Structure 1
Amino acid sequence: MKPLGRHVLAEIYGCKFDILNDIKKVEKIMVDAALEAGAEVREYVFHKFSPQGVSGVVVISESHLAIHTWPELGYAAVDVFTCGEKVNPWDACNYLTEKFGAEHLTAKETKRGILPEIFTREAVNL
């Protein structure tokens, strides 16, 4: 059975401080990563922490991209969740790794929404 979505959890290391600590740069790179992956961007919101760090989410028609940065450590925690077959979450992760000037990416993918046959049969009968 096909999953409803793909969820990539990414650990991005060795990123440039000046990028990870700049809310406008992080926002643009995240939105562009969604577009690069073929997603349709709906909305986005980002917050700058003091003294450093940025968190944000990009809502896409196909689900979302989220980030939290630790510029002082050169680290970004990212998750990219996509539904359907049109958007490739790995394209977004690779784009982010490049644009953050990262040295290393560690990531894992989880299939989401693999429903047992009984639930899909019952849903059809509703």
Structure 2
Amino acid sequence: MSIIARHITVDMYKCKTACFDDMYALQATIKTLLQESNIEILSFASQMMPDDHIAIALLFEEGHITVHAFPDLQYVSADAFLCEEDAAPEQVFSSIKKLFKPEKTKTTILKRGDFGTNTDMKPKTKTKVAPLRRIHNTGSKVVKMLTKSKSDTKNK
């Protein structure tokens, strides 16, 4: 299997609120953490969004990192896309997790651009369908119950 990138998504719950006080300080801290990881940042942007969450995007030669911080929810969602087959995006996030000090995290790591021998790219889905007869029978029972309750109410 040959892949071209690794992608990590991290959800951080019940983060410490002090991290959300200043958008520019938060951006500067994240930028410093990445530079300490020997990542040279090409460009970055931050924005206070209309729903009062902070959006930060950092672009570097090996990929990008985005962070969305929701102060009211004490929640941070972030992702890193690293364009190297043997990249370790979880190492990049270890310092970011320390910054936000979440009580709980959910992490997903994806291998992107799989050009292996199996090129079947069909998504795996599972669909559960109830038989129509069961739905029809349930519907008739509900109609009978409603009709009965109306007639009971009129008789009182």
Please give the alpha-carbon distance, in whole angstroms, between the structure 1 residues aligned to 2:113 and 2:78: 20
For normalisation by structure 2, the TM-score amounts to 0.66
Q: Following the alignment from structure 1 to structure 2, what is the Cα–Cα distance between the partners of residues 75 and 87? A: 26
User: Distance in 2 between the 1:118 and 1:43 partners?
Assistant: 37
Q: 1:15 to 1:96 in 2, by over 3 A?
A: same
Instruction: For structure 1, list consecutive stretches of 5 or more residues without a partner in the other structure.
Output: 120-126
Q: 1:115 to 1:85 in 2, by over 3 A?
A: closer
- Residues 1-126 of structure 1 aligned to structure 2 (within 5 Å): 1-49=1-49, 52-84=52-84, 87-116=87-116
Q: Which has the larger radius of gyration?
A: 2
Name the count of aligned residue pairs: 119
Sequence identity percentage: 21
Greater than 4 Å deviation, 4+ residue runs: 116-119
Question: Is the 2:4–2:85 Cα contact (8 Å) retained in structure 1?
Answer: no
- Superposition RMSD in Å: 2.3
1:124 alignment partner in structure 2: none
- Structure 2 unaligned segments of length 5 or more: list them: 120-156
The structure with more strand, counted as a fraction of residues? 1
How many Å separate the matches in 2 of 1:29 and 1:85?
27
Question: Structure 1, residues 71-106: CA drift from partner, whole Å, max 9, x if none?
Answer: 111100101110125752111211111011222221
Tell me by how many angstroms 1:110 deviates: 0.4
Structure holding more helix per residue:
2
2 CA distance for matches of 1:39 and 1:20? 23
Q: Which segment drifts farther, 33-42 or 6-15?
A: 33-42
Please report how far the alpha carbon of residue 35 of structure 1 lies from its aligned counterpart in structure 2 after TM superposition: 2.8
Q: Aligned partners of 2:106 and 2:47: how far apart in 1? A: 25
Amino acid at match of 2:39: A
TM-score by length of 1: 0.80
Q: Which has the higher contact order (CA 8 A, sep 6+)?
A: 1
Q: Is the 8 A contact 1:69 1:76 kept in 2?
A: yes
Which one is further off, 51-60 or 65-74?
Answer: 51-60
* Inter-partner Cα distance in structure 2 for 1:88 and 1:74: 26
